[in-house]
């Protein structure tokens, strides 16, 4: 029986684990299939105070701090949370379940999928949702980035160091959703070309292409030939394990009001939060302190 179980191993979850374990609460991190969530994919985490390095560097350092205070970690994904007499039972996809007095949900978010013809069939075969994972395969080639926020522009900047040409397809007339400093960096790169007021209708393999080129067709019928497509059109919360009794917003993020006693939420899974490492850390801290107080009321 644990005092606090934390679902997720991103910035919110690991911060919560540090606080919970440091408060001498028996703490378990259910990390998901892989460590770190989206933060682990950041090539250069440059906007977190007093840190220089990759997202995975930060994650590993933070995990070491949490486990140094006694937090335990298992790699599995949660499939269900059940109320029981002593608190909660967390059921995982490995067939195991774990008991706790309090649970902090910090499973983060996943990339929103591109819902057009051909996109699903070509994932891993020309279409990617992770520039830092797959960018290497497009060295010296032409790629498209779909999206117009910070994530899309950062992907374009990362790919511009590898690819011959990067085109950014965006449905609006300017990158108003992205930070000014990132917009300026994109504008300074000669091999990045924005294409505004444009959306894709379909993606298909180019017939008889020896190199596996793609044809991306826009809604006005224009064909764009490229070698790869990177999608960065937003995120949806990883909350599929919850039943309908837990209130969520239109992208699946949990509305914190009226959660059952002992159940807390932090990070990108929480409705209304800005999706940044710093805000995730802050929300993880807050959720942990609330969970610690709750466990204390139970005499733990």
Indicate which residues carry an active-site annotation.
130, 133-134
CA pseudo-torsion sign 19, 22, 28, 34: positive
Cβ neighbours of residue 33 closer than 8 Å, sequence gap 6 or more: 75, 76, 77
Which is it for strands 97-105 and 87-92: parallel, antiparallel or unpaired?
A: antiparallel
Cβ burial, residue 97 (10 Å; 0-12/13-18/19+): middle
Two structure tokens written together for 109: 């978010």
Q: How many CB atoms lie within 10 A of CB 43?
A: 17
Q: Of 241, 3, 242, nearest to 100 (Cα)?
A: 3
Instruction: Name the 3-class secondary structure at 186.
Output: helix
């Amino acid at each position: 029986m644990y005092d606090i179980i934390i679902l997720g191993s991103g910035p919110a979850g690991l911060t919560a684990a540090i606080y919970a374990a440091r408060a001498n609460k028996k703490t378990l991190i259910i990390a998901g299939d892989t460590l770190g969530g989206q933060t682990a994919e950041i090539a250069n985490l440059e906007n977190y105070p007093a840190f220089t390095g990759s997202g995975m560097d930060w994650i590993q350092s933070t995990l070491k701090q949490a486990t140094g205070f006694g937090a335990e970690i298992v790699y599995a994904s949660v499939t269900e949370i059940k109320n029981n007499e002593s608190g909660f039972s967390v059921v995982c996809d490995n067939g195991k379940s774990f008991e706790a007095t309090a649970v902090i949900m910090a499973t983060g978010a996943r990339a929103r999928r591109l819902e057009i013809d051909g996109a699903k069939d070509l994932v891993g075969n020309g279409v990617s949702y992770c520039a830092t994972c797959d960018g290497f395969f497009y060295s010296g080639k032409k790629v498209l980035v779909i999206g117009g926020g910070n994530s899309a522009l950062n992907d374009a900047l990362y790919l511009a160091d590898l690819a011959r040409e990067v085109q950014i397809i965006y449905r609006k007339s300017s990158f108003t959703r992205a930070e000014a400093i990132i917009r300026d960096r994109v504008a300074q790169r000669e091999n990045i070309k924005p294409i505004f007021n444009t959306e894709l209708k379909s993606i298909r393999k180019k017939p008889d292409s020896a190199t596996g080129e793609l044809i991306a067709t826009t809604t006005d019928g224009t064909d764009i030939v490229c070698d790869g497509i990177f999608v960065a059109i937003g995120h949806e919360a990883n909350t599929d394990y919850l039943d309908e009794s837990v209130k969520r917003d239109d992208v699946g993020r949990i509305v914190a009001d009226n959660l059952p006693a002992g159940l807390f939420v932090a990070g990108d899974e929480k409705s209304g939060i800005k999706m940044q490492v710093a805000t995730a850390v802050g929300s993880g801290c807050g959720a942990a302190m609330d969970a610690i107080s709750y466990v204390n009321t139970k005499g733990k």
